[in-house]
Amino acid sequence: MNNNYRVKIEEARDLLKKGHPKEAIEYFSKLTNEAKAPGEVFLYAAMTYDNVGNEEEAIPFYEEALNRGIENAKELRDCYVCLASSHRIEGNLFKSLAYLEQAKEKLPGDSVIAVFTALTLFDGKEFSKAVNELGNTLLDETENKELLNYERALREYFKSI
C-alpha cells in the first residue's frame, strides 16, 4: 500500500478519534469508491462502522478488504478477527468460525485468533472445544514455570474434555 493511502487512512481515523464518526464514515466512503483503493482502506472503513456499533454495515467492507488483500500480518489478523466478531454479534456463528479457520490457516499459532475462536465456540455452546482452545492457548503463551510443570497433563485434560 502506498503512503498516500496510509496518510488518508490516518486522517479519517483522526476524525473518529476526535468524536466525528459521521465525517469519518463519509471520508472512508469516498476512499472506498476509488478503484485502486487497497484492502487496508476497506479494513479501516469497516472498523469505523464497527466503532459506531454498525456491524452489519462493516461486514461487506471487511470482506472486500480480504478480497483486495492486506499486506501487514497484524492488519490481516485484525481484519479476520473483526469480521468474525461482526458475524458473531450478528448471530452468524458458522460464518464467524469459517473466517476464524481461514485466519488460522493464514496466520498459524496466532493467540488472538485462538481466543476469538474460543469465544465463538462458547457462543455456539461448544463449551468443550472452547475450553480446549483457551487452555492450549494459555499453555502456548505462558512463561509461568509452575503452570508449565503441568503442561503435559493439562493438554491431555483439554483434549479429553
pLDDT the model gives residue 16: 93
Q: Which pLDDT tens digit goes with each residue over 43-92?
A: 999 999 999 999 999 999 999 999 999 999 999 999 999 999 999 999 99
The upper half-sphere exposure of residue 20, i.e. CA atoms within 13 Å in the direction of its Cβ, equals: 11
End-to-end, the C-alpha distance of the chain in Å comes to 45
Give the per-residue pLDDT at 123: 95
What whole-number distance in Å separates Cα of residue 95 and Cα of residue 101? 10
> How many residues are present in the chain?
161
Confidence band (pLDDT; 50, 70, 90) for 117? Answer: very high
Quick one: pLDDT at residue 2?
80
Q: What is the C-alpha to C-alpha distance for residues 22 and 45, in angstroms, rounded to an integer?
A: 12
Q: Which residue has the cell 481461514?
A: 102
Which residues, in sequence order, are CB contacts of 9 under 8 Å at separation 6+? 31, 40, 41, 44
Above 80 in pLDDT, residue 1? no
pLDDT tens for 3-16 read 899 999 999 999 99
pTM above 0.85, yes or no: yes
Model confidence band, residue 30 (pLDDT cutoffs 50, 70, 90): very high
Burial class (CB in 10 A: 0-12, 13-18, 19+), 54: middle
- Quick check: 90 and 55 in contact, CB under 8 A? yes
Report the alpha-carbon distance of residue 33 to residue 16 in Å, rounded. Answer: 19
